[in-house]
Amino acid sequence: MFYRGRRLRTTPVIRSMMRETELSARDLILPIFVVEGEGVCREIPSLKGVCHYSVDMLDGLVAEMRECGVLSCILFGIPDHKDACGSAASDENGVVQRAMRRLRELCPELYIIGDVCMCEYTDHGHCGILDEHGYVKNDETLLHLNKIAVSYARAGADMVAPSDMMDGHVASLRAALDAEGFVNVAIMGYSAKFASSFYGPFRDAAGSAPSFGDRKSYQMDPHNSREAMLECQLDVQEGADIIMVKPALSYLDIIVKAKERFDLPLAAYSVSGEYAMIKAAAAADLVDEYRIMCESALSIYRAGAEILITYYAKELAQAMKKGDIG
């Protein structure tokens, strides 16, 4: 006798009952790009369907998020002024800080995450303070990152997410937040963040491309999986509340290993290049965008991610409501 697996695929009800991977809108995080100015809701050319928002134009976006059940976001700021030390990033009246306060007014239950980095704010586009040779100085950069994280906490952030890949950044931020009384502000580490070619559209959207060189001296080599586990372990030891793998689709093996090895909640960031490739293929009528969006997200969850940061957050939430995934 052979096994008849098709018996459990005969109807939509039994197929749904047999699903091994569960998805929920509550697990989705929407990236939001905020800019200076007023009346700005401008589509980003390299990220079709994603916009730059000025603080006064967040109302409509929040209404859309509420409607589809996405109640978590991560903020990225694009300032008018940039300098060598990214001083606008920790400005108490900076664009991200004002956006956080506005979002809290619009939707008190919204879970607000602040991406802690300097690349959008430095005039050289690197993620920290440079020495005379153009090398990012680790420990001095940590001091600046601490200021950014504390300013976000004061503005109402529920969580901070250091994406700089400096050594010791989670421990440094945890100590700084605790010293200011923000013991309940969580940290999501960009634990295994690779020096990937999939970040191109984001760097265009955030104006954060390096003006020289690359970020290979601090972001991870895509060849390395053992090192990724070490970086995750260090974040766990330093006090991260959530660990993350970034990018997602080309690093599903890393997600699998992290899920097997660590007990902390595991996030994955489906980055701008992943999103843009689907959009471009769909625009050329090569793929069904909706189905590819769903299948790609499902693969990330199936690999072990419990939280997904994605530019498709609203659309995926709607797909879950329809029962197409989840």
Of these residues, 48, 82, 216, 246, which one is catalytic? 246
**Cβ proximity of 78 and 207 under 8 Å:** yes
- Is the residue at 8 inside a domain? no
Residue 276 CB neighbour total at 10 angstroms: 21
Please list the helix, strand and coil fractions of the chain in percent, rounded to the nearest 5, in that order.
45, 20, 35
- Is the residue at 246 inside a domain? yes
Q: Give the three-state DSSP class for 77.
A: strand
DSSP letters along 236-275, please? HHHT-SEEEEES-GGGHHHHHHHHHH--S-EEEEE-HHHH
- Is the residue at 10 inside a domain? no
**Cβ proximity of 172 and 147 under 8 Å:** no
pTM of the model: 0.94
pLDDT tens track of the chain, all 326 residues?
888 889 889 998 888 888 888 889 999 999 999 999 999 999 999 999 999 999 999 999 999 999 999 999 999 999 998 998 889 999 999 999 999 999 999 999 999 999 999 888 998 888 888 888 988 899 999 999 999 999 999 999 999 999 998 999 999 999 999 999 999 999 999 999 999 999 989 878 877 777 776 778 888 999 999 999 999 999 999 999 999 999 999 999 999 999 999 999 999 999 999 999 999 999 999 999 999 999 999 999 999 999 999 999 999 999 999 999 88
pLDDT at 178: 97
Of these residues, 82, 137, 193, 216, which one is catalytic? 193
pLDDT at 176: 98
Q: In the block, which residue shows the tokens 């859309």?
A: 64
Structure token pair of residue 205:
């959207």
- Is the residue at 9 inside a domain? no
- CATH code for position 251: 3.20.20.70
**Domain that includes residue 147, residue range:** 22-322
Domain count of the fold of the chain? 1
246 catalytically annotated: yes
